[in-house]
Structure 1
């Protein structure tokens, strides 16, 4: 029930500003293929489809993909039930990973990130979030989260032009209204190599 409530709430949430910017920044010669990493209920998938992208959306939870079914009649949408480290990424002009990569288990993060970087075409845009060490979920000593401090986050983008890195480090609420301390980095970057 909690998972269903989360998906319903996430569908109605606003698209992150970095994704809105990313759509405007994609180079014309990079193509129109986008990947929605950990697509959840499909908020970003819908946004990308509306902007003319061919979207490859995946999530490791079959329940999440049920929420994307109403978009299934779109020939420019491809969905899959997959994990971060096993998804077969197409060559893409834009890859978005909104509030999901920190749920990649630490032992799989390097492979997942390698696949993402390899799939993004030169001139392509990445936007997404990384969890910082002061987040309350990290303080609970959860060992299933991938956590990066600012320097580690910046280091992930060695082959990119870092367009914006916004640190969010303050109390807030989850989509289900629960209080927590958020510490995340929102990144917007263009692949250069």
Structure 2
């Protein structure tokens, strides 16, 4: 994410006590690997990281905002199976993993580097490993880049990313609604759970 940390403050305040995303738990149930490692991309305040660590995973969590990293370092300072780093999708070194979580974070990947970013994600997943995350569609209010640099994709472009996967769940949202911070906007997103083929 490339926003200044102060623009994320209301979001972080609202999500500090928020539980993990239900889709993260679903994705965990689909994984068919044994390494027990997960990567939480754009970890925010660490809700998904906390859940995965509680399930015995080694979790590598990263975010591009200093505020999120400071919050997570405090939250996970006594959990040796969690490693926190300040990084972007473009700079993070994706190691082999069972699970990649990218809930509402790939929206803010650099569109100029997205092909390489996705290749890194795909390459990091072990056969039978699972990706779960969201992509921004072209009808989203933020797709024009006025709020922040974003990486909108069409439905065809999103589905084309998963040639080496079995798509287990695919949901499109195209409607007006509020953000966690209470801002009204048009949402256009694609949410995916997919298992990498052996």
Class of the TM-score when normalised by the shorter of the 2 chains: over 0.9
> CA offset at residue 10 of structure 1?
2.2
Q: Quick one: distance in 2 between partners of 1:178 and 1:127? A: 25
Number of residue pairs matched by the alignment: 192
2:31–2:98: 8 Å Cα contact kept in structure 1?
yes
Q: What corresponds to 1:146 in structure 2?
A: 151
Name structure 2 gaps, 5 residues minimum. 1-5
Runs of 4+ in 1 over 3 A off after TM superposition: 139-143
Q: Quick one: distance in 1 between partners of 2:118 and 2:76? A: 27
> CA offset at residue 63 of structure 1?
1.2
> CA offset at residue 142 of structure 1?
6.5
Name structure 1 gaps, 5 residues minimum. none
1:86–1:112: 8 Å Cα contact kept in structure 2?
no
Deviating more after overlay: 152-161 vs 141-150: 141-150
Map 1:7-86; keep pairs closer than 5 Å: 7-27=12-32, 29-69=33-73, 70-86=75-91
Taking only aligned residues, the RMSD between alpha carbons, in angstroms, comes to 1.6
> CA offset at residue 5 of structure 1?
2.0
2:171–2:192: 8 Å Cα contact kept in structure 1?
yes
TM-score, normalised to structure 2, is 0.91
> CA offset at residue 143 of structure 1?
7.7
> CA offset at residue 17 of structure 1?
2.6
TM-score, normalised to structure 1, is 0.93
Deviations 1:93-143 (A, max 9, x none): 000000010101211211111111110101000000000011111256668
